[in-house]
């Protein structure tokens, strides 16, 4: 008796477009995007700590509170969560894993949810208004430093990248907002899983 296979509904596949698809499938595509945003972050840090204290003339505040938010919202509505794919905060992982020797310590079970990230996001919004973060290049630069440190430290002490999964408030916000995007990561053909015999 033959098993009837699932026939996927035809849909637009961005990975099969001539240029963008090749770029997304390129082995070094994500790393190039991360390095680009890392350079932008370093430039923001330099200007935030050493540049003019006036917010409208400093790259740390202008890029963070004006251009970044606009770019992210446009990208979320158009193509989904592109920022997490190119997130520079995950680059220190390689160094952290070498230091920790690939720690097997798992993130506490009671914290394996999005409530930590949501709480941090609420505190972040509150501090934004209370400390006038949009008007302080120096504080904005320290927020960027805190992101890199949090990602690095959690990767040293815990396995399975808990910063991205359970802590990062930007990732949580982007994940929720990206649900309105017309593009999503989905299964191309479920028959691959249905007919898999496994290797156990």
- What is the pTM (predicted TM-score) of this model? 0.80
Phi first, then psi, for residue 85 (nearest 5°) are: -65, -35
Range of the domain at 161: 15-184
Is 195 a member of any domain? no
Q: What are the pLDDT digits (tens) for 20-29?
A: 788 878 888 8
Is residue 81 a part of any domain in this protein? yes
Per-residue pLDDT at 161 exceeds 70? yes
The dihedral over CA atoms of 111, 116, 118, 124, expressed in degrees to the nearest 10, equals -170
Mean pLDDT over 140-163 rounds to: 91
- Residue 40 covered by a domain: yes
User: Do the domain assignments include residue 38?
Assistant: yes
Coil vs helix vs strand at 185? coil
**Are 138 and 49 in contact, with CB atoms under 8 Å apart?**
yes
Q: Which residues of 87-97 are buried (b: 16+ CB within 10 A; e: fewer)?
A: bbbbbbbeebe
Beta-carbon contacts of residue 89 (< 8 Å; ≥ 6 apart): 147, 148, 151, 163, 168
Is residue 4 one of the residues assigned to a domain?
A: no
Cα distance between residue 74 and residue 77, in whole Å: 5
- Whole-number Å distance between alpha carbons of 101 and 97: 6
Look at residue 6 and tell me if it is in a domain.
no
- 155 pLDDT tier (thresholds 50, 70, 90): confident
Spatial distance between the Cα atoms of 194 and 150, rounded to a whole number of angstroms: 40
Does residue 196 fall inside a structural domain? no
pLDDT, one tens digit per residue, over 55-109 is 999 999 999 998 888 888 888 877 777 778 888 988 887 778 777 776 778 999 9
Does residue 199 form part of some domain?
no
In the chain, how many domains are there?
Answer: 1
């Amino acid at each position: 008796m033959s098993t009837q296979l699932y026939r996927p509904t035809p849909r637009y596949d961005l990975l099969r477009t001539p240029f963008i698809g090749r770029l997304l499938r390129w082995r070094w595509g994500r790393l190039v995007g991360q390095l680009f945003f890392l350079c932008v972050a370093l430039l923001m840090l330099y200007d935030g700590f050493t540049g003019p204290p006036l917010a409208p003339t400093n790259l740390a505040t202008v890029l963070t509170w004006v251009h970044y938010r606009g770019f992210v919202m446009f990208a979320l509505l158009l193509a989904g969560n592109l920022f997490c794919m190119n997130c520079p905060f995950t680059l220190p992982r390689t160094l952290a894993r070498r230091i920790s020797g690939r720690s097997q310590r798992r993130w506490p079970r009671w914290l394996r949810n999005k409530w930590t990230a949501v709480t941090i996001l609420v505190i972040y919004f509150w501090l934004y208004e209370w400390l006038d973060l949009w008007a302080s290049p120096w504080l904005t630069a320290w927020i960027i430093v805190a992101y890199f440190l949090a990602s690095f430290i959690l990767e040293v002490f815990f396995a399975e990248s808990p910063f991205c999964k359970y802590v990062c408030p930007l990732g949580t916000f982007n994940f929720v907002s990206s649900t309105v995007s017309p593009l999503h990561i989905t299964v191309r053909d479920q028959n691959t899983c249905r007919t898999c015999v496994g290797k156990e």
